[in-house]
Structure 1
């Protein structure tokens, strides 16, 4: 099978691309509006893109509340989405008015951050406090606007639940970090195999 994405000529009922580029980490991004409303939303176009400086990015389809809040206040938090919180992660993807908070919608307790103002998800075992660097309006290969917005932030503070640290290592497979696949599919990390890099 071969298809061209712009022609959508795959003949399938749904676009398979996100099932191919999978699993994708979920950035569960918390922000504060200028009016002080706490926003929380999951983004599956999310990743760590640099180390030293530590930089994360997430991409939004449309200028949603999260992006507007980040651009207005310059701060956000990436909360670790886990299998234990899968229902709440999914619920916070629901579109609600900007003056309402997804923390209340999903009945999630807030925890204070140390260096930024947006709250953390108290139940999340890890969180990254971030300062906004820039948001890029993505264009296609012809230079046309796409309506997608790529936001970068530098990690300035890291929270870790120490119960997941064993022998000096944070055990990813114990965290059960949540990821997105295609369609309505989620997966989580519960098994690892270590392979030293070849010399």
Structure 2
């Protein structure tokens, strides 16, 4: 069976790709606005682009009906952001931050998450996160046509905060990280069931 992607509308393409290329790691991106209001929101379009320098990326869609999300606006204004991995304990607070709140609302306060200071950037990190990357913006690219514009933010990770006991002999204990993955829509999964394959 062959499906022509170019013939799909935006909604169908979004749902199909989210389900086909999943599960994906869930992260919450924390930022600070020019007015000092803190923002935190979840994103599943995140990943690693380069290892040295350490370049991470996050894909940010436009608001429903068009316009920039607070996360993107804050990133453009401040030039930095923090990428926080979401574990099982953060699932409910993460879901609360997915709501489209007014710009003046501090999602940390609404969700019950804790804003902690960073060392290299102005944006705060999420204290409850097992791993948080402080990132400085390197480039922002845009794709699509209005009102469905998606921005991809590339940032260099300047510092990383790791929960005590998670790093053992220089390696992250995956079983203790307990990250959650997103299939799309309201479906998530845990990362407790793992297996190894020896390279040939």
In the alignment, what sits opposite 1:197?
199
In the alignment, what sits opposite 1:154?
156
The unaligned stretches of length 5 or more in structure 2 are: 63-67
Deviation at 1:196, TM superposition (A): 4.0
Task: Give the 5 Å matches for 1:8-157.
Answer: 8=8, 15-62=15-62, 63-139=68-144, 146-157=148-159
Contact 1:176–1:188 (8 Å) recurs in 2: yes
Q: Any idea what the Cα deviations from partners look like across 1:54-79, whole Å, max 9, x if unmatched?
A: 11111111121111111111010011
In the alignment, what sits opposite 1:174?
176
2:167 pairs with 165, 170, 173, which one?
Answer: 165
Contact 1:16–1:182 (8 Å) recurs in 2: no
The unaligned stretches of length 5 or more in structure 1 are: none
Q: Distance in 2 between matches of 1:197 and 1:51?
A: 21
Q: Distance in 2 between matches of 1:56 and 1:4?
A: 30
How well do the aligned residues superpose, as a CA RMSD in angstroms? Answer: 1.9
Q: Distance in 2 between matches of 1:124 and 1:159?
A: 9
Deviation at 1:46, TM superposition (A): 0.9
Q: Distance in 1 between matches of 2:193 and 2:171?
A: 15
Q: Distance in 1 between matches of 2:141 and 2:149?
A: 10
Q: Any idea what the Cα deviations from partners look like across 1:23-76, whole Å, max 9, x if unmatched?
A: 111231000000111100011111111100111111111121111111111010
Q: Distance in 1 between matches of 2:106 and 2:72?
A: 15
Runs (4 or more) in structure 1 with deviation over 6 Å come to: none
Question: Quick check: which one's helix share is greater?
Answer: 2
Q: Distance in 1 between matches of 2:31 and 2:123?
A: 5
